[in-house]
Structures are given as structure tokens and as C-alpha cells.
Amino acid sequence: MIRLLHTADWQIGKPFGQFEPDEAVLLSEARFLAVERLAMLATEHQVDAVLVAGDVFDAQTVADKTLHRLFNALAGFPGPWVMIPGNHDAALAESVWRRAERLDALPANLHLCLRPEPLHLEAANLVVLPAPLTQRHTYQDLTDWFDLAATPEGALRIGLAHGSVEGILIEAIDSPNPIALDRADKARLDYLALGDWHGAKRIDARSWYAGTPEPDRFKANDAGRALLVELDAPGIEPRVTQLETGRYRWRQETRTLRVASDLDALLEWLGALGGDDVVALILEGSLDLAAHRRLEIALGQARGRARSLRVDTQALRLEPTVEDLDALAADGYVGEVIDELREQQGGSDGAVARDALALLAGLLDERREKRA
């Protein structure tokens, strides 16, 4: 029996520019650590090869240090690593791969497939048919040549490609880098290892996307996996097992706050966040001033526990109660300002009005406490 570890879309060097600098550094570091975990899994499961289906790097311009770090991370598995370029790290005339060669960064056990030609791994009696991208986008199916590729009798035929399987990934039906839906069948492949989609996804019994080993976006698509592929013999359907590899949990949550129990449930949820959570929270509805204070305290505490907590309050309104206004002693001109800010929350500058209302309420509250 032959065992393979299928992975893709490492996106090494991804900057995560939408995050705070300290958060971005840790998210980028997690991608190197994911590769080290892959090497450990490959050794643990005694695989015959690791297949990396493109987008090893996020861009052609990653630093030399990043190149060395990545290839050093492969050291935990001494067997064959087989890689192809994807759309982010295409094998251009001058590419990240050529630079890695000049830096002598590529380890001896790495098989880098820069051309569409069979790679025979004789020890495992398998042939990898690679479809490397030599430009960022192509509008022809680079796996066409698999169909007529000659391989030794009795050898396993393994396809390795990066792109969009036609008719399967709705968002990418008309995208470049197409791959025929029936490629595994037409090319008599025992397994087709795919990259580009960032979640683990079965296309058919012999064709899978591995997804990225470390989540990098909020889309819920089974990211943070690698695939253990077991093949008994040519023509026999493979067994595919999903292995957990990711560290950070990317979570997107929308909460509507209308009644007290809504806020209680949200605060309980925030209290459960920990250091491996990367969260995008959208809040809508309305709160009185006392509830808003409770929320702000809870958000501050949660930001100290989570790896990242980003909160969108564009659709959240402040609705002071009569008791709130009485407590603030907001009469006369100040009361008129509060009323005006309440009304402005429904306009194009609603978020600014809400923040101004919260700030004014806080100042009035501090003044009242000083007088008490």
C-alpha cells in the first residue's frame, strides 16, 4: 500500500495587512508552523511522498529569509516532497523558484516540477503528472496532457494540479486556470491532487482539494486540513482521510441585540473566546446606555484573550432610556444634542453619531460621579 500526504495553498509570506501589526506577525508565523506540522504528520503516518499542489508562496517577492525558513521547515520529513507552482508563485522566467535555486535553498529531497513532464518515484512505483502554472492565469486546461501521458505498467498515476474544476466551484466557473471535471477518469488517474480552493473538498472519489493547512480567511470551507491518501493498487479507489493541521479558528459572527437576553448570550459567547480565535463580529440592533457600557467592557476583555477580535458596529444604535437621561441629568441644550444624535444614527453618518452619543454619555456620567 502507498500512502501520500496531499496539501496545498500554504501562502507563505501572506502579509495579513488588514490586521494589527502584532496580530499579522503571529498569523504569518502560523503558516510556517503549519508546514512543520505537515512534516510531522508525514513522518507519523509513514507516507511515501508529500504532494504540494501549488501556491506554496503568497507572492514572488517574498524575502530571501522567508525562502530559507520555508524549506528548512521541510526537514521533519526526510522522504520526497513534490511541489508545483500555483497562480501566486507561477514559474515565470524570473520567479521565486529561480531565486530559491540561486540561493541553494532547495533541499535534496524536494522534487520541484516546473515543467509538465512525468516524475517517476521509483521507490513507491508511482508517477506524478504535474501541471505547473507558468503564468498567473491561463485559459486552457493544463491537465490535458495527462490523458496521453505514458507511464510504466503497474505504476500508480497521480495528477498534481492547481486551478478551478469546471462546474464545481460556483465562484470560479468562469475563472482562469480551468481543470476538466472528468480529468481523473479521462487520464486514468489513481488520484488527482488539487490546489487553489482553500478548503478540503471532494470532487469525486479520486479527485480532492486539500485546502490550506492553516486557515487564512473567514469563509467557512473546511480549511486547516491535509489529506492522507492510501492507495492499495492501480485502479483501486483510494481511501482519503482528512487530518487536522490548523491552529487558529477563524470565526465570523453576526449578532442582533434587541432584548437583554441577546446581550447576555453575546457576553457569554465573548467570554469563551481564547488565544486561538480570530474573530470578525458584526453587531446590529439597539442598546440602552447601561447595556452599551456592559458591551464595551466585555469587548475590551475579549480583545485581550482572542488572537484577534474585529468588531463592526455600523448597524448598532444607541437608544438611551428615560432612566438613562434622568441619570445623566441631560436637560436643556445637552438634552437637545442627545436627541439630535439619536436621530442621526439612522443616516449616512450613523456610526459617527452613535460614537459621539456614547462619548457624550460617558462624559456626562463621569461628571455626575464626580459631583456625587
Q: Determine the pLDDT at residue 358.
A: 60
Given a cut of 50, whether residue 280 has pLDDT beyond it is yes
pLDDT band at 351 (very low <50, low <70, confident <90, very high): low
pLDDT band at 348 (very low <50, low <70, confident <90, very high): low
Select from 257, 268, 240, 371 the least CA-distant residue to 317.
257
Q: Strand (E) positions, 245-367?
A: 249-257, 277-287, 308-318
pLDDT band at 327 (very low <50, low <70, confident <90, very high): low
- Mean pLDDT score of the chain, rounded to an integer? 89
At residue 176, the 3 state secondary structure works out as: coil
What is the tens place of the pLDDT at every residue in 169-221?
655 444 579 999 999 999 999 999 999 999 999 999 999 999 999 999 998 78
Given a cut of 70, whether residue 36 has pLDDT beyond it is yes
pLDDT band at 288 (very low <50, low <70, confident <90, very high): confident
What is the tens place of the pLDDT at every residue in 85-106?
999 999 999 999 999 999 999 9
Q: Determine the pLDDT at residue 173.
A: 45
Select from 142, 88, 133, 138 the least CA-distant residue to 113.
133
Instruction: Please state which of the ranges 112-126, 266-280, 317-331 shows the lowest mean pLDDT.
Output: 317-331
Whether residue 157 is found in the same domain as residue 175: yes
The residues, any chain, with a CB within 8 Å of residue 102's CB and separated by 6 or more, are none
Whether residue 258 is found in the same domain as residue 233: no
Q: Determine the pLDDT at residue 174.
A: 44
Give CA–CA dist 131/141, Å, rounded.
9
Given a cut of 60, whether residue 298 has pLDDT beyond it is yes
| Residues listed for the chain | 372
Give CA–CA dist 289/323, Å, rounded.
10
Whether residue 309 is found in the same domain as residue 356: yes
pLDDT band at 340 (very low <50, low <70, confident <90, very high): low
Q: Which domain holds residue 311?
A: 249-371
Whether residue 235 is found in the same domain as residue 255: no
What is the tens place of the pLDDT at every residue in 127-175?
999 999 999 888 899 999 999 999 999 999 999 999 999 877 655 444 5
Last residue of a domain, one of 203, 227, 244: 244
Whether residue 355 is found in the same domain as residue 210: no
Amino acid at residue number 205? A
Whether residue 207 is found in the same domain as residue 305: no
Q: Which helix (H) or strand (E) holds 243?
A: strand 239-244
Whether residue 175 is found in the same domain as residue 34: yes
Mean pLDDT score, 32-41 = 98
Given a cut of 80, whether residue 291 has pLDDT beyond it is yes
Whether residue 179 is found in the same domain as residue 276: no
- CA separation, residue 241 to residues 106, 125, 162, 230 (Å): 29, 22, 20, 8
Structural contact between residues 166 and 194, judged by C-beta atoms closer than 8 angstroms: no
Give CA–CA dist 337/343, Å, rounded.
10
Instruction: Please state which of the ranges 12-26, 213-227, 270-284, 314-328 shows the lowest mean pLDDT.
Output: 314-328
Whether residue 342 is found in the same domain as residue 204: no
Last residue of a domain, one of 189, 210, 244: 244
Whether residue 169 is found in the same domain as residue 52: yes
Q: Determine the pLDDT at residue 339.
A: 60
Structural contact between residues 181 and 168, judged by C-beta atoms closer than 8 angstroms: yes
- CA separation, residue 54 to residues 227, 343, 357 (Å): 15, 53, 51
Query: Half-sphere exposure of residue 30, counting CA atoms within 13 Å on the CB side?
Result: 25
Given a cut of 90, whether residue 330 has pLDDT beyond it is no
Last residue of a domain, one of 203, 225, 244: 244
Whether residue 226 is found in the same domain as residue 339: no
In the numeric block, the cell 485581550 is attached to 304
- CA separation, residue 175 to residues 107, 169, 218 (Å): 34, 10, 21
Region of residue 167 (left: phi > 0; alpha: psi -120 to 50; beta: else): left
Whether residue 125 is found in the same domain as residue 235: yes
CATH number, domain containing residue 196:
3.60.21.10
Phi/psi at 52 (5° precision): -115, 110
pLDDT band at 286 (very low <50, low <70, confident <90, very high): confident
Structural contact between residues 254 and 228, judged by C-beta atoms closer than 8 angstroms: no
Given a cut of 50, whether residue 353 has pLDDT beyond it is yes
Mean pLDDT score, 34-45 = 98
Q: Determine the pLDDT at residue 172.
A: 45
Percent of the chain with pLDDT strictly greater than 70 = 84
Q: Exposure of 142 by Cβ count < 10 A (0-12 exposed, 13-18 middle, 19+ buried)?
A: buried
Select from 175, 283, 297, 248 the least CA-distant residue to 16.
248
Handedness of CA 202, 206, 209, 213 (dihedral sign): positive
Q: Determine the pLDDT at residue 359.
A: 59
Mean pLDDT score, 57-83 = 97
User: Per the structure, how many domains does the chain have?
Assistant: 2
DSSP character at residue 115? S
Q: Determine the pLDDT at residue 355.
A: 63
